[in-house]
């Protein structure tokens, strides 16, 4: 790590330490966030620091390696998507240990890389709860953010959603329904396919799949969803 990067890393960690609060740290559990090392910095303050730091791939690497919860959250706003490799994504994914870091990194960074869908396919087979969640969270994020992507890549991944629909683990099933609903709101054609899949899941004997199917159907067939789709 270059001397300047070392200095910036030290300054960033010092900032996080100064702006942390026990109340914020203690409140994380209420949101289902677990982290061995946390300063207790609010999301708003993390975003503010990320904007001040700007994009810096080397700094993001140092922040991640520090192991601090807030530092890892910060990587989503600091790393440079074009410099993120598939190997880096795999390495970080293996270390996801809460939904907050997983979703923030997928939402603000990983979905902007050219490796996103390849990682979805790979992580959907993962055994770890947050590693498997990453697959469906990332798929949802790509569906939400990549407006130019055609329908086919999403249609091709509906079987992954069906396969993941029987995973009863809380953070996996919530990501699966997130992906299904996000894909179904992209276009009328995708909505039709996602509604069909949701209906199929809602009628199965598996309790988790039924929950996912019913939740997705409620969102995909709501008046608000129909109104948004009519504009596309």
Q: Which tens digits make up the pLDDT trace of 21-63?
A: 999 999 999 999 999 999 999 999 999 999 999 999 999 999 9
- Residue 129 inside a domain? The answer is yes
pTM higher than 0.75 for the full model? yes
Helix, strand or coil for residue 9?
Answer: helix
Average of pLDDT values for 106-115? Answer: 98
Distance (Å, whole) CA 179 – CA 156? 13
pLDDT at 212 over 70: yes
Closest by Cα among 95, 73, 183, 186 to 137:
183
- Residue 87 inside a domain? The answer is no
pLDDT at 170: 97
Residues 104 and 181 in one domain: yes
pLDDT at 191: 97
Residues 19 and 119 in one domain: no
Residues 188 and 229 in one domain: yes
Residues 48 and 109 in one domain: no
Average of pLDDT values for 213-225? Answer: 94
Number of separate domains in the chain: 2
Structural domain span for residue 195: 99-232
Per residue in 160-207, pLDDT (tens digit) is 999 999 999 999 999 999 999 999 999 999 999 999 999 999 999 999
Concatenate the DSSP letters of all residues of 15-66 into one string.
Answer: HHHHT--HHHHHHGGGGT---SS-----HHHHHHHHHHH---HHHHHHHHHH
- Residue 86 inside a domain? The answer is no
Last residue of a domain, which of 79, 108, 136?
Answer: 79
pLDDT at 107 over 70: yes
- Residue 155 inside a domain? The answer is yes
Last residue of a domain, which of 46, 79, 112?
Answer: 79
Residues 66 and 158 in one domain: no
Q: How confident is the model at residue 1 (pLDDT cuts 50, 70, 90)?
A: low
- Residue 89 inside a domain? The answer is no
Residues 54 and 158 in one domain: no
Query: CATH number, domain at 162?
Result: 1.25.40
- Residue 37 inside a domain? The answer is yes
Residues 109 and 73 in one domain: no
Average of pLDDT values for 215-224? Answer: 94
Distance (Å, whole) CA 128 – CA 96? 9
Distance (Å, whole) CA 207 – CA 85? 38
Structure tokens at 36: 């061995």
pLDDT at 227: 84
Residues 45 and 127 in one domain: no
pLDDT at 57: 98
Contacts of 91 (CB under 8 A, 6+ apart): none
């Amino acid at each position: 790590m270059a001397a300047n990067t070392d200095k910036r890393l030290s300054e960033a960690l010092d900032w996080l330490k100064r702006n942390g609060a026990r109340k914020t740290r203690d409140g994380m559990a209420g949101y289902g966030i677990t982290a061995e090392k946390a300063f207790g910095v609010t999301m708003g303050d993390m975003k503010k620091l990320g904007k001040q730091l700007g994009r810096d791939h080397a700094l993001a690497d140092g922040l991640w390696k520090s192991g601090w919860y807030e530092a890892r959250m910060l990587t989503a706003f600091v790393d440079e998507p074009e410099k993120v490799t598939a190997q880096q994504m795999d390495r970080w994914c293996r270390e996801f240990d809460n939904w907050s870091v997983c979703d923030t990194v997928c939402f603000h960074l990983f979905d902007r890389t050219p490796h996103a869908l390849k990682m979805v396919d790979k992580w959907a087979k993962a055994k770890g709860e947050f590693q498997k969640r990453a697959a469906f969270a990332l798929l949802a994020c790509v569906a939400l953010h990549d407006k130019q992507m055609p329908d086919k890549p999403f249609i091709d991944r509906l079987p992954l959603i069906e396969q993941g629909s029987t995973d009863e683990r809380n953070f996996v099933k919530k990501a699966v329904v997130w992906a299904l609903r996000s894909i179904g709101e992209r276009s009328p054609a995708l909505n039709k396919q996602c509604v069909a899949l949701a209906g199929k899941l809602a009628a199965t004997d598996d309790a988790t799949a039924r929950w996912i199917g019913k939740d997705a159907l409620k969102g995909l067939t709501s008046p608000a969803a129909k109104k948004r789709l009519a504009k596309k």
